[in-house]
Structure 1
Amino acid sequence: MRRIGARFLGLGFIGYPIVSPAAIAMSSEITAGWWVPLSIVMSVVPGLMLVVASSRSGTRWLGPLALGTWCAYLGTVGLWFLAWDGSTLSDSAGNAQWMIAFCGMPSMVLMLVHPGLAALSLLTSSGLAHVSSQMGRFGHLTADLPFEVLWSFVFTSVFLAVVLVAIRTGRTLDETQEDTYRSAANAAAATAREAEKARFDAIVHDRVIASLLAVRTGRPDERLAEQARSALDELECVPDRYDAAPVSASEALRRIRSAAAGISERIDVQVVAIESPGEAGDHVEYPFDVVAAIVEAMSEALRNVMRHAGRGADCGVIVQLAPDALNMAVVDNGEGFDPEAIGPGRLGIAVSIRGRMARVDGGHAQISSHPGRGTTVQIGWTRP
């Protein structure tokens, strides 16, 4: 939202000289020849910088650029007093200071980063602009100056309030999203615990208690002994239910391709290190939990690409199958980001990728990214 706001305001700085030729002509009548071209440049250049910078990811550039825009405006209006030749407009209703038309624009840019500075900017910019305008119209300050400054301040404050509400709404949405992710993770964990408890309770009720109730004095029935052994075996398997049969390399590759296609048909999956999934891949097997963790971590990385890399970003998955290792890289050429700037509430990387692979013996995950240079997520497992 800050980037979109900066882009919109930058176009405003560029557009004001285009729609103000009459006011610019009036200002040129009472100022030195160098001031009008300078004032146009000092309006257009900050606007261009805002538009160009808004295409970059992140907003670290916004604070310094907003301060620079305000200083450029104040400096240009201040130079008007040096360029003024002391005469006044023939029509006192005209515009002696054409830049008065957008005296609130620098404060709107500052509102994207600091509301307090925005209010100060509005007061100083509008005050200086109206002083120069009255000097050029009348040759002196009139009693209307406070009312003109107040009107400019109140009028522009409406737009500043709109910007402030938009920024706060975006921040609230970010916080709500983080809370939702956290709640969803807690709910999923609670559901998994309840499901496991329900399975355990069912075995205890249907097998263990039934076997105990069937016990009678005397020599036990051999079938009852077998039933008891079976119940004990099933109880031992409950905690390890997810340690299912090993997965062959060809089956692991099929699951990887299926998960990638389920997220987007445009994702290309390339395989290296084995000749044929149907031949060399049949005798290579990986633990079930390893394949499940890698597929889920890859899916989260691909979902992040779809959400954050940008509309035109390309993405590919490179899979390396080896007898004692299973590695992959999810690569995109999107907008990228700063991994160190990710907040603790963002569960996608911390929990769904790094955390998931850390829970697998021999698993690892690494994220490499830079703003504007895409992202590479390396996921892998090496047999202990």
Structure 2
Amino acid sequence: MPAADWRVARVAPQRRATVTRAQVETITARALGLFGLVFGAQTVPLALEQSAALVDGTGAALMAVLYGSIVALAVATITKVAVRVACLAFAGLFVAALLAWPFLVDDAAALADSTPWLYYLLTVATTAAVVALRPLWAAAYTFVVPAVYGVIRLSPAGGAVEPLLAVLDAMYAVVLGVVVLAIVTMLRQAAEAVDSAQEAALQRYDVAARQHANEIERVKIDALVHDSVLTTLLSAAAAVTPEQQALAARMARDAVKRLDEASANGPRAFDRVGLPVLVRRLRAALTTFSTPFTVRVVNAGGVELPVEAVEALYTASVQAMVNSLQHADEPGRQARRELRIRGVRAGGCVIEIADNGAGFDPARVPAERLGLRVSIEERMANAGGTAEVTSRPGHGTTITVAWPAGAGGSA
């Protein structure tokens, strides 16, 4: 490695292992999946026993629905696919099962002074709501659903217990739900603060590294111009004999070669940035637009990209979104727009900006229109990535930017 490049690389800071928002979400969801399986397994004997008191066939159906959704929730948290959907599904199915319970009980006397087995899954349901919903809605679920259970406990189908016991059962579920909600909310806020601080530090470092690399490059070019170019020009001006002219020509070829090598070894940024940082920057950019985009993020955790790639992906994506806002809408109809971000293995990213708007023929875009050719395609090519435009008049537009080149095909 040349000395100048070594000095640039040396100033790169060592990244520490930090807890990101994505990691908090993954850990919380997987803990929910694990404890959901444990709590579900513990209730199986009681559920089988109480099935005899329900309308024929409904006990088995209720167990199949709730236990099946718990298993699906555990699989979703392990694979990190459709976690929020699985959490919402279980929370909704639990509410439906709780409301249907009084109508499913056929022999209320068999349940006298006993606790419906649904109670032992109440904490799993409130935790699923915390994972899937915003804090305000999760808090509402945490208070309302245990209150509904407390009312059911007063009825014959719920055991016809004393009001004090029903209130205590409901309050116990509320306290557990509030504790989970508080812990998860604090972890999310702390992780967001760490993410923001890391993003700001990386941006400052990127600026400093680029300035340092540019200064080193300027000194190197100055020395090259002095040692090669000026010397060549002076030799050519003083050349009289054929031998002196041949020497000047050789010196000129050598100077041109060294200039080409210097241009090929330009300044670089050496740090890497987590893909969630890019996701947050794109979400922040969306807040400045008057028209909404549906955002879908897949496999962002654990993916890291070079700073230059992040900058290229961000700039090209924002330009593509601006193009969609300017050209996709048709008279009397507003296009639907999506921003899809997908991590590829541990070091790649594919971003799709899609709409169902007016569309266009890419081959007929004038050469003087620089939005696609320079701001998107050339920018991604210069960073080592690719950009692809898919569009037809009347069929919408999809712009796909990927880094590194070929990441879109290997995802």
* Partner residue in 1 for 2:394: none
Paired residues, number? 259
Equivalent position to 1:23, from 11, 31, 46 = 46
* Partner residue in 1 for 2:58: 35
My pick for the range that moved more, 17-26 or 170-179, is 17-26
1:101 has 2:101 as partner = no
| Rounded Cα–Cα distance in structure 2 between residues aligned with 1:180 and 1:47 | 41
* Partner residue in 2 for 1:153: 174
1:339 has 2:351 as partner = yes
Structure 1 vs Structure 2 CA RMSD:
4.7
Instruction: Please state how far the C-alpha of 1:185 moved relative to its aligned partner.
Output: 0.9
* CA 90–13 in structure 1, closer or farther in 2 if over 3 Å, else same: closer
Contact 1:9 1:47 in 2 (8 A): no
Instruction: Please state how far the C-alpha of 1:150 moved relative to its aligned partner.
Output: 2.1
1:72 has 2:93 as partner = yes
Contact 1:365 1:378 in 2 (8 A): yes
* Partner residue in 2 for 1:378: 405
* CA 117–297 in structure 1, closer or farther in 2 if over 3 Å, else same: same
Instruction: Please state how far the C-alpha of 1:146 moved relative to its aligned partner.
Output: 3.1
| Rounded Cα–Cα distance in structure 2 between residues aligned with 1:6 and 1:306 | 13
1:288 has 2:268 as partner = no
Equivalent position to 2:153, from 123, 126, 133 = 133
Higher helix content, 1 or 2: 2
* Partner residue in 2 for 1:168: 189
Equivalent position to 1:308, from 303, 319, 342 = 303
Structure exhibiting the larger radius of gyration computed from Cα positions: 1
Matches within 5 A, 1:231-310: 245-246=257-258, 287-289=260-262, 291-292=264-265, 308=303
Contact 1:11 1:47 in 2 (8 A): no
Equivalent position to 2:68, from 42, 45, 62 = 45
- The percent of aligned pairs where both chains have the same amino acid is 15
Amino acid at match of 1:99: L
Contact 2:210 2:269 in 1 (8 A): no
After superposition, give the CA deviation of every residue in 1:185-223 in whole Å (9 maximum; x if it has no partner).
122134346657888999xxxx9xxxxxxxxxxxxxxxx
Contact 1:12 1:47 in 2 (8 A): no
1:117 has 2:137 as partner = yes
| Unmatched runs of 5 consecutive residues or more in structure 1 | 208-225, 231-242, 248-286, 310-331, 342-352, 369-374, 380-384
| Rounded Cα–Cα distance in structure 2 between residues aligned with 1:78 and 1:306 | 38
* CA 365–85 in structure 1, closer or farther in 2 if over 3 Å, else same: closer
* CA 66–159 in structure 1, closer or farther in 2 if over 3 Å, else same: same
* CA 377–140 in structure 1, closer or farther in 2 if over 3 Å, else same: same
| Unmatched runs of 5 consecutive residues or more in structure 2 | 1-22, 236-254, 277-299, 305-342, 354-376, 389-401, 407-411
* Partner residue in 2 for 1:315: none
Instruction: Please state how far the C-alpha of 1:133 moved relative to its aligned partner.
Output: 3.5
Amino acid at match of 1:119: A
Contact 1:73 1:125 in 2 (8 A): no
| Rounded Cα–Cα distance in structure 1 between residues aligned with 2:77 and 2:201 | 29
| Rounded Cα–Cα distance in structure 1 between residues aligned with 2:125 and 2:386 | 42
| Rounded Cα–Cα distance in structure 1 between residues aligned with 2:91 and 2:221 | 67
| Rounded Cα–Cα distance in structure 1 between residues aligned with 2:301 and 2:120 | 42
After superposition, give the CA deviation of every residue in 1:39-69 in whole Å (9 maximum; x if it has no partner).
3222222223223333556x7x344333222
SS of alignment partner, residue 339 of structure 1: strand
| Rounded Cα–Cα distance in structure 2 between residues aligned with 1:56 and 1:339 | 21
Equivalent position to 2:207, from 160, 170, 186 = 186
After superposition, give the CA deviation of every residue in 1:252-277 in whole Å (9 maximum; x if it has no partner).
xxxxxxxxxxxxxxxxxxxxxxxxxx
Contact 1:104 1:126 in 2 (8 A): no
Contact 1:366 1:378 in 2 (8 A): yes
Contact 2:30 2:77 in 1 (8 A): yes
* CA 172–152 in structure 1, closer or farther in 2 if over 3 Å, else same: same
| Rounded Cα–Cα distance in structure 1 between residues aligned with 2:387 and 2:28 | 30
Amino acid at match of 1:334: R
Instruction: Please state how far the C-alpha of 1:127 moved relative to its aligned partner.
Output: 2.1
After superposition, give the CA deviation of every residue in 1:295-350 in whole Å (9 maximum; x if it has no partner).
9699979x9999528xxxxxxxxxxxxxxxxxxxxxx9727654258xxxxxxxxx
| Rounded Cα–Cα distance in structure 1 between residues aligned with 2:89 and 2:345 | 29
SS of alignment partner, residue 42 of structure 1: helix
After superposition, give the CA deviation of every residue in 1:278-305 in whole Å (9 maximum; x if it has no partner).
xxxxxxxxx3256436x9699979x999
